Amino acid sequence: MRRYIHSVDAFFALILFCVFAVSMLLILLTSAGVYQQIRNAGEHHYSENTCINYLTMKVRHFDDANGAVYVGEIDGQDALFLSETIDGDVYVTAVYYHDGYIREFFSNEGYEFEPGDGLEIIEAGDLNFYAQPGGILYISCTGVGGTSADVYLSLRNWRAA
């Protein structure tokens, strides 16, 4: 009789272990699926979110007493111009969209350049700027996946183009 009790205990322990193992496997499979969805969403929105964050930080850097921010055009495409005075000379950083990339070009004020000359910052679908009255800057960036992100910035040192 004692022998029968031990085999029932062992059988119960084995069943309990199997239930535990199957539960852990289901949790791991579910977690892997959720992780993959989060990763895909992050990759899908990477370019437009990075673009907006980059431009917001750029504008905030130039929006002070030594700089100015204004919107214009380069080759028929919206462009953001960020000017600053360094040792009495005025320099301009142009941020614009050309050939699938957000580009940036730094030069002396008035320097002529070709749109392809700018440094490629990030791949994107499109980039638009709109200056609203009262120093409100609207930036819209479309990512490579086709989704877009936008932001409104209130500027302290706005210059009309």
Say how far apart CA 121 and CA 56 lie, in whole Å. 14
CA 58, 72, 136, 90 torsion-angle sign: positive
> What are the phi and psi torsion angles at 21 (to 5°)?
-65, -45
Q: What is the pTM of this model?
A: 0.71
How distant, in Å, are the alpha carbons of 28, 68, 74 from that of 101? 39, 24, 14
* pLDDT tens-digit map of 22-31: 999 999 988 8
- At residue 141, the pLDDT reads 92
- CA dist list (Å): 119 to 9, 69, 96, 113, 134: 72, 19, 10, 12, 31
Q: Is the pLDDT of residue 34 over 80?
A: yes
Q: What pLDDT score was predicted for residue 94?
A: 94
